[in-house]
Amino acid sequence: MKRKLVPIAALLAAALASPATLAQKKYDPGASDTEIRIGNTNPYSGPASAYGTIGKSITAYFKMVNDQGGINGRKINFISYDDAYSPPKTVEMVRKLVEQDNVLFVFQTLGTPSNTAIHKYMNMKKVPQLHVATGASKWNDPKNFPWTMGWQPNYQTEARIYAKHVLQTKPDAKIAVLFQNDDYGKDYLKGLKDGLGAKAASMIVKEVSYEVSDPTVDSQIIQLQSSGADVLFNITTPKFAAQAIRKVHDIGWKPTHYINNVSANIGSVLTPAGLDKSVGLISVAYLKDVADKEWVKDRAVMEFAEFMKKYYPEGNLMDGSNIYGYTVAMTLHQVLRQAGNNLTRDNIMKQAASMKNYRIDTMLPGIRIDTDQDDFAPIESVQLMRFNGTQWDRFGEVMGK
């Protein structure tokens, strides 16, 4: 058996070494000498339409790339459809992208339920479902789902970091938790409990949830205050985060207030809540916040501002979703550069899974993108930070993997 393999191996080695093979262009549907077709769904309408700006900033990014000559001489055709955050619509639109528009792969499809709906389909079709826009932990499962990859740090990792910080700084804390009643909120809650370990049951004195459709979270905050807690975990999306920060301040409650990264945004959360009311908030970050004075003269942030002005002027520069879209698009840009002329679906996954300590300068110092064949979680580290009234002060080490 072994001897039989030797000539084959020799042949393979010869084939790999010959320059003709190296220069040979290999294409799957969606790629050609002139074009790479990429599919995407985003909630441009419906309950989560605030996130639609991610799709728009990515579209703008690739317009810029095309103006600069494309990637390896190929133009990017980024096809993005509205799925209104409705899973059946996502299935329909993604099938259109794969079967009718013949995209090479889909990228940054947004939402945990929407991505769950197409998870099996993409893997059955062997079409990459790349850098999905959700922080659920299930996207990092290369063994069972080799065609799906996440991007941002996952919710559970982040929550475990807060738990660690509480245990270090306030081991006898009484913790109150406010969370959104969906997969995202529950993922965080699970991470928090895992992080607190055996002490979770005794430390968490109150858990209260809210629905995305609720008008306010005022009554939830009052309930949490009455529990006598001195630490508040605020697992909310931007609108509710702003309400919660203001209410906590207005009723004179002064807990150590942790707010999740989803809402750690000066422009869209802290400013509407009131900067003076946000002093002392603790969160984590992995991207630079454009509204943070620390980055006013930062080259990468200035380039981003320039990009926004030229290619997406109607977008809000301060909205964290835009620098998110820009940075994730840059990640894909690198994947495609690496893929070179071998634009097969197989190679796209291979390249996405072999990014070694890759830096994008809109990410905080020390944060890197790192993947391999068994690790489909590109960003796994974050840094703690505290709000001082005008900007975030980062403290401690970059944590995570």
- The yes or no reply on residue 247 touching another protein (CB under 8 A) is no
Nearer to another protein, 42 or 261 (CB): 42
Least Cβ distance, residue 32 to another protein (angstroms): 20
Exactly one of 35, 82, 294, 298 binds another protein (CB under 8 A); that residue is: 82
- The yes or no reply on residue 66 touching another protein (CB under 8 A) is no
- The yes or no reply on residue 216 touching another protein (CB under 8 A) is no
Nearer to another protein, 121 or 358 (CB): 121
Q: Give phi and psi for 159, each to the nearest 5.
A: -65, -35
Which of 229, 235, 225 has its CA nearest to residue 203?
A: 229
> Cα–Cα distance between 44 and 98 in angstroms, integer?
20
- The yes or no reply on residue 86 touching another protein (CB under 8 A) is yes
Handedness of CA 131, 189, 85, 88 (dihedral sign): positive
Q: Are 61 and 99 in contact (CB under 8 A)?
A: no
> Cα–Cα distance between 289 and 213 in angstroms, integer?
28
In the region spanning residues 120 to 139, those forming contacts with another protein, defined by CB under 8 A, are 120-121
Q: Which two tokens stand for residue 29?
A: 């549907």
Q: Considering only 26-34, 82-90, 194-202, 254-262, which stretch makes contact with another protein by CB under 8 A?
A: 82-90
Binding string to another protein for residues 335 to 364, with x set by CB under 8 A, is what? ------------------------------
Residue 17 CB coordination number (10 Å): 9
Look-up: residue for tokens 């949830």? 209
Q: Which two tokens stand for residue 30?
A: 């969606």
Exactly one of 12, 21, 22, 88 binds another protein (CB under 8 A); that residue is: 88
Q: Parallel, antiparallel, or unpaired: how do β-strands 381-387 and 392-400 relate? A: antiparallel
Which of 203, 208, 204, 236 has its CA nearest to residue 221?
A: 208
Look-up: residue for tokens 């339920």? 113
| Residue 365 exposed, middle or buried by CB count within 10 Å (0-12, 13-18, 19+) | exposed
Nearer to another protein, 187 or 292 (CB): 187
Q: Considering only 16-24, 39-47, 263-271, 332-340, which stretch makes contact with another protein by CB under 8 A?
A: 39-47
Least Cβ distance, residue 122 to another protein (angstroms): 12
- The yes or no reply on residue 100 touching another protein (CB under 8 A) is yes
Look-up: residue for tokens 């709000």? 387
Exactly one of 32, 66, 77, 116 binds another protein (CB under 8 A); that residue is: 116
Instruction: Kindly give the residue spans of alpha helices, DSSP state H, lying in 140-209.
Output: 155-169, 183-196, 200-203
Q: Considering only 31-39, 109-117, 248-256, 282-290, which stretch makes contact with another protein by CB under 8 A?
A: 109-117
Handedness of CA 203, 190, 285, 165 (dihedral sign): positive
In the region spanning residues 156 to 185, those forming contacts with another protein, defined by CB under 8 A, are 181-183
Q: Total number of residues binding another protein (CB under 8 A)? A: 31
Exactly one of 26, 27, 46, 170 binds another protein (CB under 8 A); that residue is: 46
The CA-based diameter of the chain, rounded to the nearest angstrom, is 79
Nearer to another protein, 81 or 151 (CB): 81
Nearer to another protein, 35 or 92 (CB): 92
- The yes or no reply on residue 96 touching another protein (CB under 8 A) is yes
Interface with another protein (CB under 8 A): 44-47, 80-82, 84-88, 91-92, 95-96, 98-100, 112-113, 116-117, 119-121, 181-183, 186, 211
